[in-house]
A and B are shown apart, each in its own frame.
Chain A
Amino acid sequence: MRIFIILIVMLCNVAYAQQNVSSGRLDILRDVAEVGFLRATTVKPFTFPKDHGAHPGYRHEWWYSTGNLEGPEGRRFGYELTFFRLALAPEDKKQIEENKSGWKTPVAFAAHFAVTDVEEEDFHFFDRYSRADGRLAGTKGTRVWLEDWSLEQSEDGWVIKASEGDIKLNLDLKQVKPPVLNGDQGLSRKSEAIGNATYYYTLPRLQSTGSIEISGETFSVEGLTWLDREWGTSALSSDQQGWDWYALHLSDGSDLMFYNLRNMDNSRHSYSAGSLISPTGEKTSLKAEDVIIEVTDYWESPLGGRYPSQWRLSIPNHGINLNIKPVINNQELNTIPRYWEGAVDVIGQRGEDIIEGQGYVELTGYSR
């Protein structure tokens, strides 16, 4: 469950501001006409590399990469680079007419880029928006870009490029596990309502090498990237106020993803779910009741709102007990809307074995 919803809310908020001034975000989301869009209702076969590309017809889609990187002398970095494709209105299927402006499209792109510099305790974040006119931003085959930020499939993996101001990121990602189809063979239902679902797959463990440049200093880095791909038309149901998402690379070679959909009373929604992925790529689905999460610390945002900042996550069926802690507390993106997405360290046990790891956590619906 990703921050796309807030982005849609933001765009719709302004587009529909005449009708909605004071109502909450989720109300607005429900008002957005979904007529004319495709919906994720049934299980569909995935084919690659075709499904790495865009899925026009659905209202939203995203490419979501996060990763932990290590530079010379063990210097730690985290990064996030995400692309959101948002159709503000159903796309016209008509052929492009002659003398039509190349700027014409109802599809917008948004992108967020963040770098966590653990040693300096710095968090750099940027956001961009553009129309998806296929020039400034868009998708072409398996390439997605917004101006000079891009994610594109290469021969044996992916290439990431992003830079803003004096922060630059260049990474080659190598795929070591096959794509994991989350939920029911890739159909990820978010509530009881039919069609309130997305198609959701993950490339959980991408070996990443490249460089980060900060203020003119370049660091060679390597580490692991998590890439999520998701598309659909509907989103949260009315009784959900936000979500916590965990994506962890564990030292035994397994990977863990879980999203905790929060009800209005902060309790867990029954459609919360996750995937436990073995070192060889086999997926075990996790249901809401399979995972126990206890918040052990909080962080007050200087901008307002209290975020959880330490967790104890256990999956009794698999003997997993993990302590999760952000590498630095302030990894909040003061974008519109505001949310927290940051690199975390993991330490714990799996059965009798000590297990370590790194990962990313996303927290939305906490900013006040």
Chain B
Amino acid sequence: MGNILKALSSYLFRHPGQLALAIIGLAVGIAVIVAVDIANESARKSFDSSLTAVTGDATHQIIGGATGLDESVYIDLRLGGIRTIAPIVEGVVRIEGETYQLLGIDIFAETSFRDYQVEGSGSGGSSGAGGVFSLLTEDNGVLMMRRSAARLGLKTGDPFTARVFGAEHQGIVLSLMGDEESSNGLDRVLITDISVAQEWLGLVGKLSRIDVMIGDEDNLRASIEAKLPPDVQLLNAERRNNSLQEMSSGFNTSLTAMSLFALLVGVFLIYNCMSFMVLQRRPIIGVLRALGVTREQLVAALIIEGLVIATIGVLIGLFTGKFLGEQLVSLVSGNLSDHYYSVRGGEVTLAATTILKGVVAGLLATLIAVVVPAIEAVSYPPRLTLVRSVVEESVHNILGWLALAAGLLVIVAGVVLTFTDVNLIAGFFALFLVIVSSALLAPLVVKLMTPLLTIIMGYAVGLPGRIAVRGILKSLSRTGVAIAALTIAVAEIVGMGVMIGSFRENVEDWLITSLHSDIYVAAPARGGGLSLNGIDPELITKLSQVNGVSHYSGARGVKLETENGSIQLRAVDMSPDGGNAYDFLMGYPAEIWPAFNAGEGVIITDPYAYNFGLNIGDSLTLPTKLGSREFKVLGIYRDYNANQGSITINRSAYITYWQDEVISSLGIYLREDADEVAVIDQLNAVGAPYQALIIGSNKQIREMSLRVFDRTFIITNVLYWLAMIVAFVGVLAAALALSLERGKEIAILRALGMTRAQVSKLIVVQCGTMGLLAGLFALPVGMISGWLLINVINRRAFGWQIDMIIPIDTLLSALAIAIVTALIAAIYPAWYATKSAPVSTLREE
């Protein structure tokens, strides 16, 4: 066996470039798989841990109604002898531009709920509460994770400035918790006394929630429930966390889609590089067979060799992937903190599952890539093995079978989609099947397209063109795989481009429709997203008297908490033309508005309707101040706000049911002759003595929304390029293989009088044609993926209904990227092919 391996590997050592390419290809493939997985996993994990860090061991949570949770609820429970409860006031603050979750606690209620590890608390006996008592004596003191403090350059006793909605608060670091490495989820969490949190977050008198620990005693649950006001609910913490999690997993959807593409492209690359190494040595294999080496011995030797190479590649890939992942995570973290929760950036955990995924993908792809051609290579009589065309013949023979398999996969995908309604994983599975089937079809597509391309290229570049195109078909066993890899990479660009482009266009239209007023004025929502007191009624009158203001409509936005997550409820005073702001997907405005204005029901967003399977005429139950009440669905309108969608109700009906007359935002309509900038200045001047207001013009809000939208998808750009790098290496490997392998052919061409330039041209054209083929095939595949992303993945994850728009520029640039990538990949092989003198090449043979 040793001798066989030696014989086989001697070739590789004579061609170190090839060996290096195989290892690089493998490593890049693994790296991309690992990096995307790390990014995904980190995002999920920091969400999980920030969730447990803030919910602790609570089994249940008490959640307030529309106007928040009055702290009196907690006090009454305590005075009523309920003791396994802890009040929480939480919200987001910013320190030096970083987002931190401020967690206000009552330390006396806490010890049984959370485990705070504070320095110097080691001697504290069983109390475990540690230095947290200083929270009571030090004004504005906070406990900070050691790692956060290190990042901010703070130590115990240092002051810092925390920003909450424009207001600044001076805090002091009382103590540090945890150690540098610990990642118990409390990083980016500041712990402070409940009084400080209330004051900073503007939640004096309110709690974000009450954590409850209920054992097996059901009577405790009942006795708590009996003591709660009608609009306050006791919810199962686990169920609530799960629904919060689902909400954010929606965000991770695009990442998951990316990792799927990355996995496929990576596997293809590995397959390509490894199978190539076997094919390359068919002559040696033939010689060895002729010398009497058995088939089994040869296959075993090839597998061992492949696995050794794969191991090196996988190791390099894991490390590179970790580094890449770190870069991705910092991109993701900025993004997620914008939207949902604080994520720590920069640090990375290489989870066992991630490593496993990389290793399995690497070794499995290698195994298949080696075994299939190896078995095939040894299955012929030694003499035939020496002949290259045999392989290609067999490839051509199975094209039909591949197409059949592709067709079957598409059918399975269709069945999966038909029989699953909202399951996101099933959606991904279907997408995966479609992409795999397109890869299987790639060689057939190449075969079908070559006659046409031969003619076109013949016209375009003459003889080298024709030879080049035929060459692609002749070496389908490797060009097919390279083209498939490039196709998937480009299809990813097309698919994501179609999805994001359509999405953005839809959002832009929607913003134009729904932002109907000229100027928006809002009271900052603090803490749990609730604007407690809204805008001072006296101030509203004054604002409406500002010169240039025609009229206004008031609205109140609140969050209702349920076990199925939170519901955004908007109560609006409909202005005469305000109705145009709603683009109804279901229901007729002429019927909806009279009923809505009479308070006969609510209108809901499309995602809400989708998520809860609601239709016009159905009823939904909302927790009101008067207890649970049913509301009829009058209409369903388009909406792209994040999360699970929202409900809009007439404000007078809202006041009846929730007994809350607060107005938290105003839509101001200007007189025709008004100067918008002057009015905004005036509004700011009028508002300043009263309270902090957020005032923005229609245009500013629209631009801001789109900026947030664009930032959300920054990471996709990065992944484009990652996919392209993988595809690039794939094409490079294929092109190099072709030129190496056809050294003899090229030498003959050269001997027949072809110039070096012509040979280079031949190779460049060949690669370019491969790029063109992949690009062309990627367009329909990409559009189908885009359709699936829009109508299956996005719909299932968010409930958003997006009209598909095909952005021509995306398609054209995808095509261009495919060709350019292939051309760049051709540079080295083209140079290499011309380097050798034809005579020596021929003599070698």
Quick one: given A17-B123, A336-B125, are A101 and B195 in contact (CB under 8 Å)?
yes
CB distance from A210 to the nearest CB of B (A): 18
* CB atoms of A100 and B199 under 8 A apart: yes
Specify which chain A residues have a CB less than 8 angstroms from the CB of B119 in the assembled complex.
18
CB proximity of A40 to chain B, nearest CB, Å: 23
Stretch at the interface among A8-16, A69-77, A254-262, A272-280: A8-16
Given A100-B199, A129-B108: A14 in contact with B124 (beta carbons within 8 A): yes
- Which residue of the partner chain, among A21, A106, A131, A163, contacts B106 with CB atoms under 8 Å? A131
Q: Which of A15, A101, A104, A131 contacts B134 (CB 8 A)?
A: A15
Inter-chain contact A100/B136, CB cutoff 8 Å:
no
Q: Would you call A216 an interface residue if the criterion is a C-beta within 8 Å of the partner chain's C-beta atoms? A: no
CA distance A17 to B127 in the complex (A): 13
Q: Which residues of A have CB within 8 Å of B193?
A: 103-104
The answer for the CA separation of A104 and B104 in the assembled complex, in Å, is 12
- Which chain A positions have C-beta within 8 A of B194? 101, 103
* B196: A residues at CB distance < 8 A: 101
> Which residue among A21, A88, A147, A336 has the maximum number of chain B CB atoms within 10 Å of its CB?
A147
Binary contact readout B69-98 vs A (1 if CB under 8 angstroms, 0 otherwise) = 001000100111101000000000000000
Are the C-beta atoms of A336 and B79 separated by less than 8 Å? no
A131–B108 alpha-carbon span in the complex (Å) = 7
Whether B198 sits at the interface, judged by CB under 8 Å, is yes
Partner of B198, one of A11, A103, A129: A103
B126 close to chain A: CB less than 8 A: yes
* Shortest distance between the CB of B715 and any CB in chain A (Å): 40
A108 at the interface (CB under 8 A from B): yes
Closest residue on chain A to residue B122 by CB atoms = A21
Q: In the docked arrangement, what's the CA distance between A328 and B196, Å?
A: 47
Q: Is A148 an interface residue (CB 8 A)?
A: yes
Q: Is the Cβ of A148 less than 8 Å from the Cβ of B79?
A: yes
A106 partner, pick from B80, B131, B137, B156, beta carbons under 8 A: B137
Instruction: Bits for B115-140, please: 1 = Cβ < 8 Å to A, else 0.
Output: 00001111111110111111011000
In chain B, positions 166-193 with a C-beta closer than 8 Å to chain A are 175, 193
Q: Is residue A215 contacting chain B, with contact meaning CB distance below 8 A?
A: no
Q: Does B686 contact A (CB under 8 A)?
A: no
Inter-chain contacts of A304 with B (CB < 8 A): none
- Please tell me if the beta carbons of A88 and B108 are within 8 angstroms of each other in the complex: no
CB distance from B690 to the nearest CB of A (A): 14
Contact check, A18 vs B131: say whether CB atoms are below 8 A apart.
yes
The residues of A that contact B195 with a CB separation of less than 8 Å are 100-104
Does any Cβ of B come within 8 Å of A89's Cβ? yes
How many angstroms from the CA of A22 to the CA of B193 in the assembled complex?
A: 28
B-chain residues with CB within 8 Å of residue A105 when the two chains form the complex: 136
A17 touches B106 (CB 8 A): no
Residue of A nearest to B108 (CB): A129
For chain B residues 48-81, which have a beta carbon within 8 Å of chain A? Answer: 71, 75, 78-81
Question: On chain A, which size bracket covers the interface?
Answer: 20 to 34
Asked if A88 and B83 make an inter-chain contact with CB atoms under 8 angstroms apart, the answer reads: no
A101/B199 contact (C-beta < 8 A), A136-B79, A147-B81, A148-B79 known: yes
Flag whether B617 is at the interface (Cβ < 8 A): no
Residues from 76 to 102 in A contacting B, C-beta threshold 8 Å: 88-89, 99-102
Determine whether A196 belongs to the interface, using a CB cutoff of 8 Å to chain B: no
Q: Are B130 and A100 in contact (CB under 8 A)?
A: no
Q: Are B137 and A135 in contact (CB under 8 A)?
A: no
Render A247-275 as a binary contact track against B, CB cut-off 8 A, 1 for contact.
00000000000000000000000000000
Is the CB–CB distance between B136 and A13 below 8 Å?
Answer: no
Q: Does B133 contact A14, Cβ atoms closer than 8 Å?
A: yes
Decide yes or no whether B205 CB sits under 8 A from chain A.
yes
Cβ of B214 to closest chain A Cβ, rounded Å = 15
Please report the C-alpha to C-alpha distance between residue A148 and residue B136 in the assembled complex, in whole angstroms: 22
Q: State the CA gap A103–B195 with chains docked (Å).
A: 5
Can you name the residue of chain A whose Cβ is closest to the Cβ of B134? A15
Asked whether, in the complex, the Cβ of A103 is within 8 Å of the Cβ of B133, the reply is no
Q: B78 and A147: CB pair below 8 A?
A: yes
Q: Does A310 make an interface contact (CB < 8 A)?
A: no
A106 to B141, CA, bound (A): 13
The tally of CB-CB contacts under 8 A between chains A and B is: 88
List of B residues within 8 angstroms of A108 by Cβ: 108, 136
Most buried by B among A103, A104, A131, A147: A103
B122→A135 contact, CB < 8 A: no
Q: Is the CB of B120 within 8 A of A136?
A: no
Which residues on the B side are within 8 Å of A163 (C-beta)? 81
B199 touches A106 (CB 8 A): no
Q: How far is the CA of A101 from the CA of B202 in the complex (A)?
A: 10
| Chain B residues, CB < 8 A from A10 | 127
Q: Tell me the bound Cα distance from A241 to B333 in angstroms.
A: 56
Residue B204 lies at the interface, judged by CB distance under 8 Å to chain A: yes
Shortest distance from the beta carbon of B90 to any chain A beta carbon, whole Å: 14
Are A135 and B124 CB-contacts (below 8 A) given A88-B137, A103-B195? no
Separation of A148 and B129 alpha carbons in the complex (Å): 23
Sort chain B's interface into a size bin. Answer: 35 or more
Q: Which of A14, A99, A104, A163 has the most CB of B within 10 A?
A: A14
| A330 beta carbon closer than 8 Å to chain B | no
Q: How far is the CA of A22 from the CA of B122 in the complex (A)?
A: 10
Q: How many angstroms from the CA of A7 to the CA of B137 in the assembled complex?
A: 16
Contact A14/B204 with A103-B194, A136-B75 known, Cβ cut-off 8 Å: no
Closest-CB distance, A123 to chain B (whole angstroms) = 19
Residues of the A chain whose Cβ atoms lie less than 8 Å from the Cβ of B199:
99-101
Chain B residues numbered 376-413 whose CB sits less than 8 Å from any CB in chain A: none
Given contacts A22-B123, A102-B71, contact A14 B129 (CB under 8 A): yes
Complexed CA–CA distance, A18 and B138 (Å): 15
User: What's the Cα separation between A161 and B193 when bound, in Å?
Assistant: 30
| Distance of A364 Cα from B79 Cα, bound (Å) | 31
Closest to B193 in A: A103
- Interface: A130 (CB within 8 A): yes
Among B79, B156, B193, which residue has the most Cβ atoms of chain A within 10 A?
B79
Question: Known contacts being A101-B204, A103-B198, is A135 close to B106, with CB within 8 Å?
Answer: no
What residue of chain A has the Cβ atom nearest to residue B111's Cβ? Answer: A129
Give A85 to B136 CA distance when docked, in angstroms.
Answer: 14
B569 to chain A, nearest CB (A): 26
Residue of B nearest to A11 (CB): B133
Contact A14 B131 (CB under 8 A): yes
- Tell me how far the C-beta of B206 lies from the nearest C-beta in chain A, rounded to whole angstroms: 10
Contact of A148 among B81, B125, B127, B130 (CB under 8 A): B81
Chain A residues lying within 8 Å of B136, measured Cβ to Cβ, are 88-89, 105-106, 108, 131
Inter-subunit contact A147/B83 (CB<8 Å) = yes
Q: Out of B71, B108, B126, B137, which one reaches A336, CB within 8 Å?
A: B126
Give the nearest-CB partner of A98 in chain B.
B204
Q: Do A17 and B130 touch across chains, with their CB atoms under 8 A apart?
A: yes
**Could you tell me the distance in whole angstroms from the C-beta of B676 to the nearest C-beta in chain A?**
34
A14 and B127 within 8 A (CB): yes
Least Cβ–Cβ distance between B418 and chain A, in angstroms: 56
Closest chain A residue, CB of each to CB of B78? A147
**Contact between B131 and A17, CB atoms less than 8 A apart:** yes
Give CA–CA (A104, B79) in the complex, Å.
19
List which A118-142 residues lie within 8 A (CB) of chain B: 129-131, 135-136
Q: How far is the CB of B70 from chain A (nearest CB, A)?
A: 11
- A102-B195, A336-B127 known, 6 other contacts, Cβ within 8 Å: A18-B175, A21-B122, A103-B106, A103-B194, A147-B78, A147-B79
Interface residues of A (CB under 8 A from B): 10-11, 13-15, 17-18, 21-22, 88-89, 99-106, 108, 129-131, 135-136, 147-148, 163-164, 336
> What residues of chain B have their CB less than 8 Å away from a CB belonging to chain A?
71, 75, 78-81, 83, 106, 108, 119-127, 129-134, 136-137, 156, 175, 193-196, 198-199, 204-205
A–B pairs, 25, beta carbons within 8 Å: A14-B127, A14-B129, A15-B131, A15-B134, A17-B121, A17-B124, A17-B130, A21-B122, A21-B123, A22-B123, A88-B136, A88-B137, A89-B136, A99-B204, A100-B199, A101-B199, A102-B195, A102-B204, A102-B205, A103-B71, A103-B193, A147-B78, A148-B79, A164-B81, A336-B127
- List the 8 closest pairs (A to B, CB-CB), nearest first: A101-B195, A104-B195, A103-B195, A17-B120, A101-B198, A89-B137, A18-B120, A129-B108
